[in-house]
Structure 1
Amino acid sequence: MKQLIDFIPLILFFIVYKTDPRTLDIAGHSVNVGGIFSATAVLIISSVVVYGILFALQRKLEKSQWFTLLACLVFGSLTLAFHSETFLKWKAPVVNWVFAAVFAGSHFIRGPVLIKRIMGHALTLADPIWTRLNVAWIIFFLFCGAANLFVAFTFQEFWVDFKVFGSLGMTVLFLVGQGVYLSRHMQDSTPSTPKAED
């Protein structure tokens, strides 16, 4: 569910992007609505609002949510400042690849892999299963980043559609696949006992 919350600003972005360009009078100010730049402004504002509400309710945000918000602010602001959608096109690939690098890096530091740190409180699985699951997340993020980059610069007329619905579809399919994979191993898993350090 937490992963799906990230798509709320994207859906609002998509709606404004697809709106026929028009000028609205809001509180005595003329505001252009429709197209990439007004959609980018909505993406920034809605991201701040969504994550602001989450922070107010939970008194915290996860590191991934802070990073997603920061990326939105940086790439969105650059898009508006330079009036170029190229910056926004790089947001999804960069965010996905950074997540892939973080998951991959957890294999080389002491302690459990990242996916076990995230989900270990809710599931008991053998360490090899956690490792495979972590690798699956690495591959997923690498693939999502590459797919977003390819579509953004090859099929420019479809990149916004793919950014929203393609990314959402890939995420849902991956989470379903993860659920099926976990269901095969959860029944065979036994609680692990702490090991003494050598």
Structure 2
Amino acid sequence: MKIALDLFPILLFFAAYKFASIYEATAVLMAATVVQSLLMYRLDGKLATLQKVTLALILVFGTLTLVLHDDRFIKFKPTLLYGCMALGLFVAQYLFKKNFLKTMLGSQVNLPDANWQTLSTAWILYCIFMSALNAYVAHYFSTEDWVNFKIWGYIFPLIFIVGTGFYIAKHVPPAENAANDESVK
């Protein structure tokens, strides 16, 4: 259900673009993200920080796109989002000595601190990669190509998240794996 909610706005954006223009698609994306946020709030009783940031960026950059009739704003929104995520993780990890991923997931996954450090660094590098990749496609390719990249480019986050899952599973201490195996029976 959560994955369907995550994909809901981008799929509607893609469909709206194919049947109309980037401007109608942007309005659809804005409305769909508001609906998505309301549904997530209803399900969880709160909105995650990333969801709040995403909603704010889509509303701000979407409004700029529509008011100024300039698609560069919506095309560079993912670049800014990924850049902010990389910067936030970096500042937390290296300046404040706080591992944001451990703070978020530490109650669910027991990993040694060195593995949390590696995971955080991997996420920082991934966010920098995605920010740069979106900027490159947004700048050097047509709007049509960028929209296609947005839908087919979801392979990058899927691969990275699956890889993160494998990394976590590989480094979970054996005692926790045994406890999880017992709870499944």
Query: With structure 1 as the length reference, what TM-score do the two structures score?
Result: 0.83
Query: How far apart are residue 4 of structure 1 and its match?
Result: 6.5
Matched, 1:158 2:134: no
Residues 19-39 of structure 1 show CA distances to partners (whole Å, capped at 9, x for unaligned) of 1xxxxxxxxxxxxxx110110
| Matched positions, count | 174
User: Max radius of gyration: which structure?
Assistant: 1
Residues 126-154 of structure 1 show CA distances to partners (whole Å, capped at 9, x for unaligned) of 00000000011101111011101101111
**2:48 maps to which residue?**
62
Greater helix share, structure number: 2
Query: How far apart are residue 7 of structure 1 and its match?
Result: 2.8
* Change beyond 3 A, Cα 1:77–1:95: same
Give the counterpart of 1:74 among 57, 60, 83.
60
CA RMSD of superposed structures (Å)? 1.7
- The one-letter code of the counterpart of 1:95 is L
**2:162 maps to which residue?**
176
Q: Secondary structure at the match of 1:6?
A: helix
Which structure has more RCO (C-alpha within 8 Å, separation ≥ 6)? Answer: 2
Contact 2:111 2:173 in 1 (8 A): no
Q: Secondary structure at the match of 1:51?
A: helix
In structure 1, runs of 5+ residues without a counterpart are 20-33, 191-198
Greater strand share, structure number: 1
Query: With structure 2 as the length reference, what TM-score do the two structures score?
Result: 0.88
Tell me how far apart the structure 1 counterparts of residues 7 and 54 of structure 2 sit (CA, whole Å).
Answer: 11
In structure 2, runs of 5+ residues without a counterpart are 177-185
Matched, 1:120 2:99: no
Q: Return structure 1 stretches of 4+ with deviation > 3 angstroms.
A: 1-6, 187-190
